[in-house]
Structure formats: structure tokens, C-alpha cells
Chain A
Amino acid sequence: NTGVTQTPKFRILKIGQSMTLQCTQDMNHNYMYWYRQDPGMGLKLIYYSVGAGITDKGEVPNGYNVSRSTTEDFPLRLELAAPSQTSVYFCASSPRTDNSPLHFGNGTRLTVT
């Protein structure tokens, strides 16, 4: 198992552009999450999924979309990028609803200019 893999590691977008942040896990975890982390701040939940075909909004979903067509993949789509979306994005997974640890990917550093 390689865990949670995020691509790309870094990206610079111009205002109004769109992109997809990729996240895949090979641990057969049902639960997957997208967080963003701004400098000096904690993690904010954007979207999460409890299984293939099921997604739900977190604390800060505006400007983002997700899909979960397979257990392994949970891409995050940014439409019409804005400077406020400059952040580090972390994808995470966990196996079930109890307090199993979150397994984080290495993050994607996104700058919107």
C-alpha cells in the first residue's frame, strides 16, 4: 500500500481558471475527505464522502465540487479560481466511522494569481 496520493504537488492558476486536484487511496477506505489549510490556521473541511456515489459538504464548500465514482478516487474540482482559494489542500481517508486515524496525502500547494 502506498496510502493516499495527491497530485499535483504544486500549481499556479490564474483567476478564473479551473483545475482538478486528484486524490487516490489504495487502502480500501470508505471515508475520504478534502481539507484546506491556510497559513497559521487549522484544517477546514471542504467536502467528504462516506462511500462511492455519496458526497456531502463540509464547512467551506463554496467554489468547489467533488465526485466519488470509485472507492479509490476522490477528485476535487475548482471552478473559476479565485485568490481566496490560495491554500494547501489535503486529501485524507479513514476506514470507518469510529475514531480510526485519518491518513493524509502529502498535500497540494495551490496559488491563484
Chain B
Amino acid sequence: QKEVEQNSGPLSVPEGAIASLNCTYSDRGSQSFFWYRQYSGKSPELIMFIYSNGDKEDGRFTAQLNKASQYVSLLIRDSQPSDSATYLCAVNPGGYGGSQGNLIFGKGTKLSVKP
């Protein structure tokens, strides 16, 4: 059973702090990794994706991948109240032909940024 694990939270950080969201996955052959943000009652939206070991930065967001440890994380710098949402980690398992629709999603981490 291929699994993606996330701490369900809630994770509470003060405005302006760094929020760190973590995710582990079981399938060592996984090739690509995604972070989706989902506001309450809304549909998920893609924030970042990462394929290679190391860091990938986009604005206030940094995704970090360590395939040896089967670990992927999302850092949000200068957190804002508008970042309050559930963050879903998703993994594209090896052998599924690469379609992102065959992603395995974690249960999500609820982030709350306090003003």
C-alpha cells in the first residue's frame, strides 16, 4: 500500500514567522512531488512541485526534497493570515505512467497563521 503521511495539525504560527510543513512517502520509486493548498470549502490549488533532491524556491515558498529519506517539506516564509489553509502533499508513484492524476494525496496539514 503506497502511502503519504502528513501531520494533520493544526499547525499554528504567528504572522511573519516561517511555517514548516512535512510529508513522508512510502514508495521509494516516486518521481515527483506536489504541494496543494486548499482553503476551507474550496478546491485544491497547486503551489509547487519538485522532482530533484534539494530545494526549490518560488517567492515565499520553498519546497525541499530528500529522496533518500523519502521526505518532502514546504517552508512558507513571512507567513500571512491569508496562508491559513490545509496543505496537501501529493506524490506521483513510480510506474503509473507519469500522469499527475494518479497522485497519492496525504490527509493534509491545517495551518493557522495568527495576526
Contacts and interface: CB of A to CB of B under 8 A. Distances in A.
Interface of A: 31-33, 40-45, 48, 50, 58, 90, 92, 94, 97-102, 104-107
Interface in B5-28: 8
A99 B107 contact: no
Interface of B: 4, 8, 32, 34, 42-46, 49, 51, 88, 90, 92, 97-108
Nearest to A94: B100
23 contacts: A31-B99, A32-B101, A33-B101, A40-B8, A41-B107, A42-B88, A44-B105, A45-B101, A45-B103, A48-B101, A50-B99, A58-B102, A92-B101, A94-B100, A97-B99, A98-B98, A99-B34, A99-B98, A100-B100, A101-B46, A101-B49, A104-B44, A106-B42
A50 B101 CA distance: 10
